[in-house]
Amino acid sequence: MIGGGAPLASKILLRELPPMTILFLRLTIMLVILMPLSLTRFRHLWTHRKQLVLLGLFWVGNLSLFIIGIKFTTAIASSIIYLGVPILVLFEERMMNKSKLLLWQVIGIGLGCTGALFVVLESLGTQSGFGTFHGNILLLLAIVSYSFYLTYSKRLSVHVSPLGLTVGALVSGWAVSLVLMVFFDGVTGLVHVPNLSIASWVSLLYVGIFLGVAMYFLNQWGIRHTSAVVAGAMLYVGTFTAWASGVLFLSEKITFLMIAGGALLVVGVFLTSMMPLLTLRKHSMKRG
């Protein structure tokens, strides 16, 4: 539910600040809060520095592509595209483990990809509700990066705590965001920070504290105790928040084609993640 507010908060901030400046400020807020809590963990984190740097690159890749892409699309369209994350996570896990996909999973991946592409391709013909084509393409690339972040987090969670994973990815991500801000925005965005509106200040604190510290820590905790697929599926809860905020605050419209694309993604994730479990349970009951 916390993540569902990301599109709205980002849209508000983009009215007054450039994208990379927003990303840098968001990660700086996280760094100020989390670093004091992690001083005793630095030696342990240093032993996994290479893996944590890679994790941070996946993470900041998602964040940077999202903050740029959301500028050119709608909150509703972005939430639909992010529904494809669990399908990508499952596919990546299967490829890494070199295990075969079940028939239901193949069908589910096909439906999920169709739903996501449906939203993206629809934006070629109209921008009403669907945003722009290049904006949605950037979001597609963002979910690929985010799915790798979730998958790799699960692998590292055996050796590193949820807080350690969050902080480790944050340090490298913050360094990358600083370079991106200087290269693309310079310091012009930082000059405008003292003059931000109340709405922008609230949004900045929201993306830094709630979206940054709270959501990603809870996300890592969930990955460690469940799976990367389940963690990705939690985006479905945020979808309703994103749709409501898009309609109420951004005057966006929900169309039949949006619902159709979202439905394909939901069915796709059900077939890839839940159907195999139900089939296995059915066979187990027959044996019993």
Coil, strand or helix at 78: helix
**How much is the mean pLDDT over the chain?**
80
Decide if pLDDT at 238 tops 70: no
Q: Rounded to an integer, what distance in angstroms lies between the CA atom of residue 219 and that of residue 66?
A: 18
How does pLDDT run across 45-87, given as a tens digit for each residue?
Answer: 889 999 999 999 999 999 999 999 999 888 777 877 887 787 7
User: 162-184 vs 19-34: helix axis angle to the nearest 10?
Assistant: 150
**CA-wise closest residue to 12 among 252, 201, 213:** 201
| 153-to-31, 148, 163, 164 alpha-carbon distances in Å | 19, 8, 12, 11
pLDDT at 63: 93
- Cα of first residue to Cα of last residue in the chain, in angstroms, is 39
Q: How many CB atoms lie within 10 A of CB 185?
A: 18
**CA-wise closest residue to 21 among 135, 207, 190, 191:** 190
Q: Rounded to an integer, what distance in angstroms lies between the CA atom of residue 11 and that of residue 6?
A: 8
- Residue 150 belongs to what domain range? 3-287
Q: Which two tokens stand for residue 265?
A: 């993604």
Question: How many distinct structural domains can be found in the chain?
Answer: 1
Prediction pTM value: 0.78
Q: What are phi and psi of 127, to 5 degrees?
A: -105, 5
Decide if pLDDT at 7 tops 90: no
